[in-house]
Chains A and B, each alone.
Chain A
Amino acid sequence: MLHLVNKSPYDGSSLNTATSIMQNGDTLLLIEDGVYGAVKAGKAAPLLEGHSVSVLGPDLAARGITEDKLADGINVIDYAGFVDMVEANDKVQSWL
C-alpha cells in the first residue's frame, strides 16, 4: 500500500497516524506541506525511522528545502515517479 501525507507534521496528526499504521512492504510518499516531515533536523523526523519513505522533489524546492537537509534514506522523486508509485501499489491511502 502507498500512504500519502500532504500536511505538515507540526500542524496536524497525519504523519503520526500514517507511520503508526504502516505495515512491512508499505511505502510513504510525502507531498505538499507533508515534505516538512522529511527534514532531518526537525522534531518529526524520528517518525520516519524504519519506513520506506519518498518525497516529491518539486514540493521540496518550492519550500526551499535542499536534499542535504533530508533525513537519511529518503528517496526524492518527480511527478513521473509519483505516477509510477501509484501504479506499483494495489491501494493508495491519502491521509488528508
Chain B
Amino acid sequence: MSNAKKMMYINRKAPYGTIYAWESLEVVLIGAAFEQDVSLAFMDDGVYQLTKGQDTSGIGMKNFSPTYAALGDFEVNKIYVDKESLEERGLTLDDLQHLVWEDEDEDWAEKDSIRLVSRSELSDVLADQDVLFNF
C-alpha cells in the first residue's frame, strides 16, 4: 500500500433528485478494487444519502441505500459525516444507517465506519488527501 494515494469522494447531493449520489457510489465501488486509501465525506444534502428507512417502491427508482452497508467489505471504512449539515437538516446520527467494518488485525472486531466531524475537522481531513472527487 506504499504507493496508495489518499483519495476522498465528497458527496453533497441528496440521493434521488439527481444522479450524483448513485454515480458516486458506483465509482467508489469500482475504485475500491484498486487498493487505494479511500475516504468518503458526506456534507450538505449529501448527508441524506445515508438516512435509514428509504423505500423507493412508490417512485419507480432503485433504492441503492442498502449498498452503503457493503462499503466496509471493500475496506472503505473512513466515512466522514459533517455535523453541521446534519444539524441544519434536523438530523442526528440515529437517523443514519449504522455502517460498520470488520478489522482483521483485531480478530475481525466490528467497528463503526461513520465518523461525525466538525467543519474544521473535515477541513483538516481534506487537506490531508492526495486526490478529491466531487459528486
Number of A-B contacts (CB under 8 A): 74
Pairwise interchain contact A10-B17, C-beta atoms closer than 8 A: no
Q: List CB contacts (< 8 Å) of A78-96 with chain B.
A: none
* Nearest-neighbor residue (CB-CB) of A39 within chain B: B90
For chain A, give the interface size range.
20 to 34
Interface residues of B (CB under 8 A from A): 13-18, 44-45, 48, 51-59, 61, 63, 65, 88-91, 95
By DSSP majority rule, is chain B's interface helix, strand, loop, or mixed?
Answer: loop
By the criterion CB–CB under 8 Å, are B59 and A40 in contact?
A: no
User: 1/0 per position for A28-71, CB-CB distance to B under 8 A?
Assistant: 00001100100111110100000000000111011111100100
Option from A40, A42, A58, A64 in Cβ contact (under 8 Å) with B51: A64
CB pair A61 B44 closer than 8 Å: no
A7 at the interface (CB under 8 A from B): yes
Asked if A62 meets B56 with Cβ closer than 8 Å, knowing A10-B45, A32-B16, A36-B14, the reply is yes
Whole-angstrom distance between the alpha carbons of A69 and B53 in the complex? 13
- CB pair A61–B58 under 8 Å, yes or no, is yes
